[in-house]
Amino acid sequence: MRGDESGGPSVTNRTSGSRTRPCLRHPRATPEKSLTLERASRHDHGLDGFLFRRSTPSGMNVGPAEILLDLTSDNMALIKLSDYCCQGGERTIDASRFTMDGLRIAVRGNRELIFSPLGNAPLAPRVALVGITPGGQSEAFARYLRFLSVPDAAKRAAFEGAQSQIKELLAAHGFAESIGLSLAADLNESPDIFTTSLVKCCLKVNGSYKYKAPEIAASPEAIHCVANRFLADIARFPSLEWIIIFGDPGWAAVTSLRVNGIPVFNRIKGMGVEVLNFPHFAQNFQQRAIFCLDESEEADYLKQKPKHAPYAQKAKRMRSALLAAMKRRSSVPKPFA
Ligand SMILES: [Zn+2]
């Protein structure tokens, strides 16, 4: 083992209480104690890693030496994919040096599934926000996974870059307010919101994230995820009252995919929740705009923007379904009321 004069970089101890930063040329001149980082090999323990030492100005080691980062391959932080994904199998990845290829769970023809179990894990959510599959957010997940745990990376990447659009949709027609849903903070941090997707293992078709319901239906892995993991996720929360499926392909998937002969839509509806289709947060801004309009504003809007007319029919259907569900729910007597 090396001595104390390792020549490793000195790191100022932030808890030393001194407001003045030590002169970098004389790192030992100011701090009472300093942290020293050095590469250490301890073959006697089969360890190789970085060693942090706390030392006094005289260089004397005063605290217990601590191995913070162990670099031996058999001690790397291995992630077992099946702990987080319905189809992880026996696959593992190394948290610190995985490649995008390592995240690929299944390849079948032009379709592939990528490990990307996006979403949060609240205890008793009332609203589920359901994407189709993680799409481009799977890349954000892979980035976060380099320095966060799987659950934290999955939570942070869920609906990344789309929160303001989703909040606008949830605020439309007073929906969020009517159910007492706060939109002030990050959606993934809300105790009332469960974020997830139909196919959680990210589905890619021809290397792209564009997919339609038939492509989900054509992928046994994607169907497996919807039929097993998604339905189980929803059943896990008896507190859920609202399930919001984003986009046309997501809606087509829940209404057309059957599990043991029963459409997914009927299965989740049968759990006593309202199942709604909202415009997709990243596609068809025209559909979002029309969805958010008050019915009385619609004629004027379409007169000014005739090119948006082709989006009106679906947007109106989504809006009417939301308004009808809000009316239905508000007439349901609240427990203990
Ligand atoms: Zn899955």
Provide the pLDDT for residue 106.
82
Q: How remote is the C-alpha of 108 from its chain's centroid? A: 25
pLDDT confidence bin for 294, thresholds 50/70/90: very high
Q: How far is the CA of 224 from the centre of ligand 1 (A)?
A: 7
Provide the pLDDT for residue 36.
46
Choosing from 75, 106, 128, the residue where a domain stops is 75
Number of domains forming the structure of the chain = 2
Provide the pLDDT for residue 244.
98
Provide the pLDDT for residue 100.
82
Query: Is position 4 within any domain?
Result: no
Query: Is position 277 within any domain?
Result: yes
Q: How far is the CA of 168 from the centre of ligand 1 (A)?
A: 29
118 and 57 inside one domain: no
Provide the pLDDT for residue 332.
63
Stated pTM of the model: 0.75
Q: Does the pLDDT of residue 57 top 70, yes or no? A: no
Q: How far is the CA of 238 from the centre of ligand 1 (A)?
A: 21
Selected residue with higher pLDDT from 31 and 196:
196
Query: Is position 3 within any domain?
Result: no
Q: Tell me: the pLDDT tens digits for 253-288? A: 999 999 899 999 999 999 999 999 999 998 889 999
Provide the pLDDT for residue 45.
40
Query: Is position 85 within any domain?
Result: no
Q: How far is the CA of 181 from the centre of ligand 1 (A)?
A: 28
* Dist CA 246 CA 214 (whole Å): 16
Query: Is position 337 within any domain?
Result: no
Q: Does the pLDDT of residue 58 top 60, yes or no? A: no
133 and 59 inside one domain: no
Amino acid making up residue 123: L
Query: Is position 123 within any domain?
Result: yes
Query: Is position 37 within any domain?
Result: yes
Q: Tell me: the pLDDT tens digits for 168-195? A: 999 999 999 999 999 999 999 999 999 9
319 and 239 inside one domain: yes
140 and 188 inside one domain: yes
Amino acid making up residue 162: A
Phi/psi at 28 (5° precision): -90, -5
209 and 71 inside one domain: no
192 and 47 inside one domain: no
Domain holding 243: CATH number? 3.40.470
Q: Does the pLDDT of residue 37 top 60, yes or no? A: no
* Dist CA 230 CA 215 (whole Å): 17
| Across 319-324, average pLDDT | 97
Q: How far is the CA of 201 from the centre of ligand 1 (A)?
A: 4
* Dist CA 102 CA 283 (whole Å): 29
Q: How far is the CA of 133 from the centre of ligand 1 (A)?
A: 10
Q: Tell me: the pLDDT tens digits for 81-138? A: 999 988 888 889 988 788 888 888 888 888 888 899 999 999 999 999 999 888 888 8
For the four alpha carbons of 132, 137, 138 and 139, in that order, the dihedral sign comes to: positive
Query: Is position 88 within any domain?
Result: no
109 and 41 inside one domain: no
139 and 244 inside one domain: yes
Contacts with 334 (C-beta within 8 Å, 6 or more apart), sequence order: none
Ordered alpha helix ranges (H), the chain: 137-144, 150-157, 163-171, 175-178, 213-217, 220-224, 231-235, 248-256, 264-269, 285-292, 298-304, 312-330
Q: What are the residues facing 35 on neighbouring strands?
A: 11, 54
215 and 302 inside one domain: yes
Q: What are the residues facing 12 on neighbouring strands?
A: 34
| Across 15-19, average pLDDT | 38
pLDDT confidence bin for 295, thresholds 50/70/90: very high
Q: How far is the CA of 250 from the centre of ligand 1 (A)?
A: 15
Q: Tell me: the pLDDT tens digits for 145-167? A: 988 999 999 999 999 999 999 99
Q: How far is the CA of 86 from the centre of ligand 1 (A)?
A: 4
Domain that holds residue 43: 10-75
Q: Report helix angle 285-292 to 312-330, nearest 10.
A: 40
Provide the pLDDT for residue 135.
83
Q: How far is the CA of 332 from the centre of ligand 1 (A)?
A: 35
278 and 151 inside one domain: yes
* Dist CA 280 CA 270 (whole Å): 24
Provide the pLDDT for residue 95.
82
158 and 292 inside one domain: yes
Q: How far is the CA of 167 from the centre of ligand 1 (A)?
A: 26
286 and 325 inside one domain: yes
Extended strands (E) in 74-140 = 78-80, 92-94, 104-108, 111-114, 127-131
Which tokens go with 55? 């030392």
Provide the pLDDT for residue 333.
60
